[in-house]
């Protein structure tokens, strides 16, 4: 068993690992308590001349966190630096991260999300008052205990406003899906960065998916720079999320405004930053605004520490290249989703009759709003009710169906384009859904006999562009669902993560 700090701390077992470090379960032999010990682990591609830069980041994390007296910030107990080894000894929080909570139990209800927002906002206030920008607020850095206060962790890439920049040349440190547009445009560090990231984190908490999660880093950055997703929750919670994610930092919600909206959600006029985050039944949302079309999300990494995007060009030049790629490569592919599907089968015996969704369709809803990784207590059927927030839950709880796949039939959701027709959409949806069903993404033996899957396509009416609350939108997504052939509940995920 390894020992550090002249034998004071024993490293018992590894708790998590990422690009910047390893977190160990440790034992403080002097005080007789369990602690978390973070060991600096440099990425393999870091040149020797830059090792000191990364080591300085970790040292700064300890110094910053140690001077923040706030219940929602993980407490730092000790700092050990000897030779090339650096360790931070911290409070052990026996709790899952926010992304793990949502993955297991589904999106948070309105009051639970507002309570979480208040706690994280208090943590950021404390940091900003000390002149510190966290720079990596995201679901993987939020610990959510069953009781007590949520904890914001990993100040490893935080930057004091009065410190020189320590970002290594040619790298972008952080998670692009939770970086504000002005940060990606290489702006100066600002507390507004953290408020935008808080909004994106809350979007994930209430939606069960990241607002800008995309298959590639370039697509993610493009989405942050060009899209403005709207959550399905309404009222003051919806105002909070969209206000924090305003792309213009001058219009973005400030701390005081955010607290007022949180108080309205909680309904008691108080900032209760210590209330346990116990899930409650979600409120009924107002008629939703269709968000940007969902795009396939890459498999979730359990305890991400950070994402390092190597580059030799300036961020602005990179973003310009991504925009060019989008309009010359990605957009034509999306607009012609029926092309390039190959010669795979359009159906199997497990495929159910195709359903339509729309006010004039089999399912009376103007867009299902189901996303990959959704596990539902809802089953597609003629005259089935719309999907409600309470229909979403954890994939390890009893559920009826899972989202097998989604395909964007046309990405111009704000433009009037001709309806392709039921036959064409059925061909596109049947081919994509069947291909995914037969792939190794779906578990189970003899699945063509034990499972069934559905294809749901938009009607001509739902395809039309509508204007709601100033937003133009339409429903142009084909949904695929999968469940057991005998209709019995699922108790664990069919879709492999």
pLDDT tens digits, 131-152: 888 888 999 899 998 888 899 9
- Tell whether 484 is in a known binding site: no
Q: Per mean pLDDT, which range of 1-5, 334-338, 369-373 is the poorest?
A: 334-338
- CA–CA dist 451, 385 (Å, integer): 22
Whether 443 and 395 have beta carbons less than 8 Å apart is answered as: no
Residues whose CB falls within 8 Å of the CB of residue 105, separated by 6 or more in sequence, listed in order: 279, 393, 394, 397
Give kind and range of the element (H or E) at residue 52: helix 51-66
**Which two structure tokens, joined as six digits, stand for 97?**
């991260």
* 3 state SS of 467: strand
Q: What is the mean pLDDT of the chain?
A: 78
Given this model, what pLDDT does residue 161 score? 63
Burial status of residue 248 (CB atoms within 10 A of its CB: 0-12, 13-18, 19 or more) = exposed
CB atoms within 10 A of CB 408: 18
* 3 state SS of 74: coil
Give kind and range of the element (H or E) at residue 262: helix 255-266
Average pLDDT over residues 257-266: 94
Band of pLDDT at residue 282, cut at 50, 70 and 90: very low
Given this model, what pLDDT does residue 384 score? 93
Average pLDDT over residues 461-466: 87
Given this model, what pLDDT does residue 403 score? 92
CB atoms within 10 A of CB 449: 11
Given this model, what pLDDT does residue 173 score? 61
Domain 2-90: CATH class, spelled out: alpha beta
Which of the two residues, 411 and 367, has the higher pLDDT score? 367
Given this model, what pLDDT does residue 391 score? 85
- CA–CA dist 318, 310 (Å, integer): 11
- List % helix, strand, coil for the chain (3-state, nearest 5): 30, 20, 50
CA dihedral 179, 184, 188, 192 (to 10 degrees): -30
Given this model, what pLDDT does residue 43 score? 60
Going through 179-306 in order, the beta strands assigned E by DSSP cover none
Q: Could you state, in order of their start, the residue ranges of all structural domains in the chain? A: 2-90, 98-316, 341-484
Q: Is 365 a catalytic site residue?
A: no
Band of pLDDT at residue 201, cut at 50, 70 and 90: very high
Which entry of 103, 136, 194, 366 is annotated as an active-site residue?
136
Query: Which residue, among 127, 152, 125, 122, has the nearest Cα to 67 in the 3D structure?
Result: 127
- CA–CA dist 183, 198 (Å, integer): 14
Please report where in the chains the tokens 């405004």 appear, as a residue.
257
According to CATH, what is the number of the domain 98-316? 1.10.510.10
Band of pLDDT at residue 262, cut at 50, 70 and 90: very high
What is the crossing angle of helices 110-129 and 235-244, to 10°? Answer: 40
Interval 51-86: pLDDT, tens: 677 677 667 767 777 777 788 888 888 888 877 778
Interval 62-71: pLDDT, tens: 777 777 778 8
**Which two structure tokens, joined as six digits, stand for 291?**
């968000």
């Amino acid at each position: 068993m390894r020992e550090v700090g002249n034998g004071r701390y024993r490293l018992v077992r590894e708790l998590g690992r990422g690009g910047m470090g390893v977190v160990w379960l440790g034992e403080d032999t002097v005080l007789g308590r369990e602690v978390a010990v973070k060991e600096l682990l440099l990425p393999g591609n870091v040149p020797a001349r830059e090792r000191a830069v990364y080591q300085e980041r970790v040292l700064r994390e300890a110094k910053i966190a140690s001077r923040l007296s706030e219940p929602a910030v993980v407490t730092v107990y000790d700092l050990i630096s000897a030779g090339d080894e650096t360790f931070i000894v911290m409070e052990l929080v026996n709790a899952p991260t926010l992304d793990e909570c949502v993955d297991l139990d589904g999106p948070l209800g309105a009051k639970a999300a507002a309570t979480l927002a208040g706690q994280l906002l208090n943590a950021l206030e404390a940091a900003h008052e000390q002149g510190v920008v966290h720079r990596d607020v995201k679901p993987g850095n939020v610990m959510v205990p069953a009781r007590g206060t949520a904890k914001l962790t990993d100040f490893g890439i935080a930057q004091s406003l009065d410190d020189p920049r320590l970002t290594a040349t040619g790298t972008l440190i952080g998670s692009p899906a939770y970086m504000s547009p002005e940060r990606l445009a290489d702006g100066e560090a600002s507390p507004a960065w953290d408020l935008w990231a808080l909004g994106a984190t809350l979007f994930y908490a209430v939606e069960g998916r990241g607002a800008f999660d995309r298959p590639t880093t370039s697509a993610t950055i493009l989405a942050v720079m060009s899209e403005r997703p709207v959550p399905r929750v309404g009222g003051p919670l919806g105002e909070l999320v969209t206000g924090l994610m305003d792309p213009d930092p001058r219009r973005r919600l400030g701390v005081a405004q955010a607290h007022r909206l949180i108080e309205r959600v909680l309904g008691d006029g108080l900032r209760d930053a210590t209330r346990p985050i116990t899930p409650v039944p979600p409120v009924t949302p107002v008629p939703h605004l269709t968000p940007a079309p969902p795009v396939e999300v890459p498999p979730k990494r359990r305890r991400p520490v950070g994402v390092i995007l190597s580059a030799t060009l300036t961020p602005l030049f990179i973003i310009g290249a991504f925009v060019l790629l989008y309009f010359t490569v990605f957009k034509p592919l999306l607009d012609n989703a029926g092309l390039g599907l190959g010669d795979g089968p359009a159906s199997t015996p497990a495929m159910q009759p195709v359903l339509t969704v729309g006010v004039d369709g089999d399912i009376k809803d103007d867009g299902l709003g189901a996303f990959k990784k959704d596990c539902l207590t809802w089953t597609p059927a003629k005259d089935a009710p719309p999907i409600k927030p309470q229909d979403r839950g954890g994939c390890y709880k009893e559920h009826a169906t899972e989202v097998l796949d989604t395909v964007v039939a046309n990405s111009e959701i704000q433009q009037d384009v001709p309806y392709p027709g039921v036959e064409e959409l059925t061909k596109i949806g049947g081919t994509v859904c069947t291909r995914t069903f037969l792939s190794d993404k779906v578990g189970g033996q003899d699945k063509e006999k034990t499972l069934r899957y559905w294809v749901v396509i938009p009607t001509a009416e739902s395809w039309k562009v509508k204007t709601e609350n100033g937003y133009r939108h339409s429903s142009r997504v084909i949904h695929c669902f999968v469940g057991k052939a005998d209709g019995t509940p699922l108790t664990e995920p069919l879709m492999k993560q």
